[in-house]
Amino acid sequence: MTTFLYDGSFDGLFTAIFEVFEYRYQDVEIRNRESFVQENMFAEIHEVITQQEKSERVLNKLEKSIGKSGINDLLKVYLSEDEKLEQLILSVVKQSVKFPEENVLKNFANDEILKIAKICKSVSRERHRMTAFVRFEKMQDDIYFAKIDPDFNVLPLIRKHFKDRYADQKWMIYDLRRHYGLFYDLENCDFFYPDEKLDLNQYQQKFHEEEKKYQTLWQSYFIKTNIKERKNTKLHIQHVPKRYWKYLTEKW
């Protein structure tokens, strides 16, 4: 077996897939270079250099078979960070080459396709919850800041939602688990990659005075409007799972 090592990027993955077909490899695995540990020193390694042109050629041809929605599904698989994501996506490409007139993502009798459908459902659910439960906090520099810790790497999937919804204010969303974020400056909405992890203690010291007052007021309001006799914890958790409470000011 030949191991293809790529840089972990979406374009890098599809560059690797292009080269699988370009060099007519049969027995291959594609691995993220960053997390790869070589166990067999005699194993054949193929180093992939990301080339957007090669990536786009695969994606454009694939889109003719599975459509834009299918490409979006593969993006969700990639963002799921599933340990088998490379092989799942490679399998879809191979099946699409074999059956170019079919949308292979509709073949739920195939175990890999069924797994992809389940992954997409989970990622979509997480995306929806991030748009619902993210809370912004006003900082001293008048930028609204939100921290998230999603199970999947959904930041690229919520980018448009927040850009459209909060187009009139500067904001940042930071992924605590993956240590990168989004910054919107009223014109551009770009990813940023800080050199150091976010220091939560230092971060809280930079709250705007208005934010501190708002949080105190909101917590007081929540306590006073909460009717103990109507408390239904089970139903509440169904709508707002506990792992999202850390985003909600009223739960602190």
What string of pLDDT tens digits covers the 252 residues of the chain? 899 999 999 999 999 999 999 999 989 999 999 988 877 777 799 999 999 999 999 999 999 999 999 999 999 999 999 999 999 999 999 999 999 999 999 999 999 999 999 999 999 999 999 998 888 988 888 889 999 999 999 999 999 999 999 999 999 999 999 999 999 999 999 999 988 887 766 766 677 676 555 555 545 545 555 656 565 556 545 556 666 656 555 544
pLDDT of residue 53: 98
Taking CA atoms, 237 is separated from 10, 125, 241, in Å, by: 35, 15, 5
What letter does residue 207 receive in the DSSP assignment? B
Q: How many CA atoms does the CB half-sphere of 93 hold within 13 Å?
A: 22
Helix (H, G, I), strand (E, B) or coil at 146: strand
Cβ burial of 165 (10 Å; 0-12, 13-18, 19+) is exposed
Task: Give the closest residue to 127 by CA, choosing from 100, 102, 152, 106.
Answer: 152
Strands 144-148 and 171-175: parallel
Taking CA atoms, 218 is separated from 129, 147, 214, 249, in Å, by: 21, 19, 6, 7
Bridge partners, residue 146, by sequence? 173
pLDDT of residue 221: 41
pLDDT of residue 230: 61
Cβ contact 158:149 at 8 Å: no
Bridge partners, residue 3, by sequence? 29, 45
Cβ contact 92:98 at 8 Å: no
Cβ burial of 80 (10 Å; 0-12, 13-18, 19+) is buried
Instruction: Judge if pTM exceeds 0.85.
Output: no
Tell me the backbone φ, ψ of residue 53, rounded to 5 degrees.
-60, -45
Task: Give the closest residue to 163 by CA, choosing from 181, 183, 149, 178.
Answer: 183
